[in-house]
Amino acid sequence: MNRRAFLLLVSAALGGTALSTIYLHLRSYGQTRAPQEENYTIETIKEGLVIPWEIEFLSSDEALVTERPGRVSLVTLSTGRSQVLGEIDVAHVGEGGLLGLAHTGAGERVITYYTYRDGGRLYNRVHLWDSFEFKEGVVLLDKIPASSVHDGGRIKIGPDGKLYITTGDAAVPESAQDLASLAGKILRINLDGSIPRENPFPSSPIYSYGHRNPQGICWRQGGEQFFATEHGPSGEMGMVANDELNRIMPGGNYGWPRVVGKRDVEGFIAPIYYSGNETWAPAGCTFYYGKDFPDWVDNLFFTALRGEHLHRVELSGDGWRVIESEKLLQGVYGRLRNIVQGPDSLLYLLTSNRDGRGSVRPGDDKLLRLTPKG
């Protein structure tokens, strides 16, 4: 039975007015693929990590890994050996602590996003460090509102060479709509901390707003299509989960807390994909462009914390519609925090079972690698 025949049958059973609602639901989600034979195996590269948050590759065999209590380690991928390079003084409170990291490509200069305490209040900061010792450096952006929840924290250098930063609403929902606040935003700055002239709001680092807690950002090949994952309210303010995958546009307002989920409301940009009543708690995301999984090329992947799976999404050419989706690793490794494609064309994952919200498994937390079967 094709999709249209199915819709007509259900519509006849439920009443004609149900047709458009059901069609919108399926159009938003695309086709959900039935379980397939796995074309991959999982290797455990490193065990015993404490709430790891970010992976940043330095070479085909070395990666930096951040852990939320404040550590930055260098992991040798071929052996699983690790070395703590330095520790940053952070406020490891709730969802805060040492979160994102980006390597500038220049020697040992790296940028981190972390939570700190000042005068009894919590803030987030973007800090450029001169070396892997994490002792000397300069603050690029400061006093980003922080809380024990909703701290955002993903930072990435985009295809345009600018630094993109996700921030949460820090448990103050209306701050996401306030252009005078850095909370509930995706920010964009130069690598020296200055504001790009072409930013949508003059003299402001704000690139998009109306976000609740975005934790993943990624670009499609070519760099023109930009996407972010975002945690929905999950019962907050009487709302259902409505976790989101958004296509990010400069100056775009993504609705929180005025609009949640797939609702077409003038002045707000609706998500291209959302969870409805289900909770994913989506975190890191990446597109796949390697040689080892040809069926996955140009697919977007995001990790799910509460959903405990890896989500694969196939998008339309214009990036505004989901064609197909699939859940991988459902419940196998627990909460998944991040996914990154390595220089070796393989996919790397971080678990997050020691964050107080998951069931700790032997060896947690882990750095995992997906490799093709055979």
* pLDDT (0 to 100) of residue 13: 43
- What one-letter code names the amino acid at 321? R
Q: How far apart are CA 93 and CA 146, in angstroms?
A: 10
pLDDT band at 34 (very low <50, low <70, confident <90, very high): low
Query: How does 187-205 read in b/e, with b if 16+ C-beta sit within 10 Å?
Result: bbbebebebeeebeeeeeb
Q: What pLDDT shows up at residue 238?
A: 63
| pLDDT for residue 22 is more than 70 | no
pTM confidence score? 0.91
Rg of the chain over all Cα atoms, to the nearest angstrom: 20
In the predicted model, is pLDDT for residue 211 greater than 70?
A: yes
| Residue 7: band (very low, low, confident or very high) from pLDDT cuts 50, 70, 90 | very low
Q: What is the pLDDT of residue 339?
A: 98
Specify the pLDDT at position 235.
Answer: 65
The DSSP symbol for 19 reads: H
Q: Is the pLDDT of residue 6 over 80?
A: no
55 vs 239, residue with greater confidence: 55
What pLDDT is stored for residue 18 in this prediction?
36
Sign of CA dihedral 153, 192, 88, 65: positive
213 close to 175: Cβ distance less than 8 angstroms: no
pLDDT at residue number 137: 97
What is the average pLDDT score of the chain? 91
**pLDDT over 90 at 357, yes or no:** yes
Percentage of the chain lying above the pLDDT 90 cut: 86
212, pLDDT greater than 50: yes
> With bands split at pLDDT 50, 70 and 90, how would you rate the model's confidence at 38?
confident
For residue 14, pLDDT over 70 is answered with: no
Phi, psi (5° rounding) for residue 319?
80, 10
pLDDT digits (tens, 9 = 90+) for 131-180: 999 999 999 999 999 999 999 999 999 999 999 999 999 999 999 999 99
pLDDT of residue 15: 42
Which pLDDT does position 67 carry in this prediction?
98
Q: Which of 158-172, 230-244, 325-339 has the lowest mean pLDDT?
A: 230-244
Average pLDDT of the residues in 113-137? 97
Residue 264: what pLDDT? 87
Superfamily of chain region 41-372 = TolB, C-terminal domain (2.120.10.30)
Cβ contact 23:14 at 8 Å? no
Mean pLDDT over residues 8-33, rounded?
A: 43
What single-letter DSSP state applies at residue 22?
Answer: H
List the domain boundaries for the chain: 41-372
Q: Is residue 52 predicted with pLDDT exceeding 90? A: yes
Range of lowest pLDDT (49-58, 88-97, 262-271): 262-271
Instruction: pLDDT band for 261, please (50, 70, 90 cuts).
Output: confident
Q: Is it the case that residue 115 has pLDDT exceeding 90?
A: yes
Where does residue 258 rank: exposed (0-12), middle (13-18), buried (19+ CB within 10 A)?
A: middle
**Are 181 and 137 within 8 A, CB to CB?**
no
Residue 105 DSSP one-character state? S
Predicted confidence band at 263 (pLDDT cuts at 50, 70, 90)? confident
Please write the tens of the pLDDT for every residue from 71-100.
999 999 999 999 999 999 999 999 999 999
Q: What pLDDT score was predicted for residue 33? A: 66
**CA-to-CA distance for 223 and 356, rounded, in angstroms?**
36
